[in-house]
A and B are shown apart, each in its own frame.
Chain A
Amino acid sequence: MSINRKELTEMAELAKLDLNAEQTRQVGQSLNQITAMVERIKKADTAQVKPMFHPCQFWMPLRDDVVAEPSRKTELLALARHADDNFYLVPKVIE
């Protein structure tokens, strides 16, 4: 199963990666090698087998509905490249 250039461009867009022509070619080549390798899994007989999404053998735990986190505003905004005293800032988005 071979991935074509159009699919690669779509995937790069979904993943928000900026690949130039050469990079796209290289990634395409790698991916095709890998997909050739992973193709083999299709041959396995898995008709009666359910996917194993988690290796855990237990159910999800739940937590009480209580406010347990203080405000982290200062610490968090300090980590951001662009922020004012109250908000994270990003280039203007038009909806």
Chain B
Amino acid sequence: MIAGPLLLLIVPLVMAGVVYILLRWASLSALLSVGTALALGIAVVTLPLDQPVPVYFWGERQIVMGEAVTFLGRELVLGQADRVAMAFLFLTAAGLFFLAWRVAPRSLIFPMGLGLLSLLSGALLIRPLVYSALLVEIAAALSVFALQAEGQPATRGGIRYLTFTTLALPGVLVTHWLLERYVLTPDETGLLNMAAVLLAISFALLLGIVPFHTWVPAVAGDSVPLAGTFVLTVGNGAVWFLLLDFLETYPWLSTHPHFGSLFSTAGLAMVVVGGLLAPAQRRLGPLMGYGALVDSGGALIALGMHSRLGLTLVLLSLVVRPFGLALMATGLSGLRARNGDDDSFDALRGLGWKAPWSTAALIFGGLSVAGLPVSAGFIWRWPLCRALAPSSPGLALLLLLAGGGVMTGVWRGLSALLVRSRPPEGDRFPRVTSEGWLTAAVVAVVILGCVGIGLLPQVLAPLAAHLAETYTFFAP
């Protein structure tokens, strides 16, 4: 009998080693990474939690996904909510590996990404939750290797991400001790308040909430773009699910009198800072980071609504965020590769004509991150604005304006990319791009996916609503 949680921990870790050895064969290592993440993602979704499933190619062995397993004296449990979280992590990673196959071949994102998947799975499955913080911290340290581009100066994004994650660690660990002490002395309610404050600070650091947001644009701007996206989607997604696990495990957190105002204020600060700074950027990388900041801010505002609808929107935002950021990162990678790793607007002038697919990826990704129509990001941002409008019209307006701010930044980038430079003699513009048909096909598939979700929100929305039902802390 093989316990599912153990499978989710060990398989990616083993494959990380294999992929690292095979890294020189770009397509093989990339496709192995995609295959591993995809297979595990599908297995998590499709295999039943409570029934053994025979493994035909492995003797008489059977897999039980829901079986709890003890690892280093701690329990690993795959619950219903964790199941979807796991599927999100693995499938998002598979998508990012698929894009990295074309735009970042032979990069450390493949082995490190698989290693991170193992650690982040452990973080979501391990009980008590205190160990999650340690695993997230180890994952952050490992991600620095993926964020650092070969032959480039040391990434400021990596070191900042590591710094903020390390600073978040003590709060979560001490919270666990405070809560254990509270069980022994229930009269000391001050312990709960202290635990709530420490948790709030720790998650503010982990999620990049203003004023602890400086790592977000740094990760997006000063590292391998798809590795940065991995951190901002898979890593950040794991932190979000961890936050939801905390809210589920300790219901007094969600009933705290300042819960709604705290999340709304934090989200508003992110939306305002991101919305103001995004159009002022002169480089595409930090622009993507500020776009991600606005996106996270919107999700925090949704959680601050303190309702099942808000939770559904949070989960929907997590599911669709990778589309926008991954597309932007793909475009950014393509443009940087053709421009000596310089992504400033001045340096990119006219490059859009030479790299049309990268430009298209950037634009459609930008649309989604800004939450504009005909993009995946629109399907949760618009319902959020509509839900906020009756009670907090100012908040809804600011959210819309912040989306406009991000789009203004993207528009400025597009204007620079599409400047018509002086044509070479004989030919106005190069008719053949250097991007290759395979890269074009991969980008086209993801763009179609992003637009398709934007046009058909009914595909993902029920899934998010169903997932929201697995959490009971906002139940009436």
Same assembly: no
Query: Hey, which bits of chain A sit against chain B, CB under 8 A?
Result: none
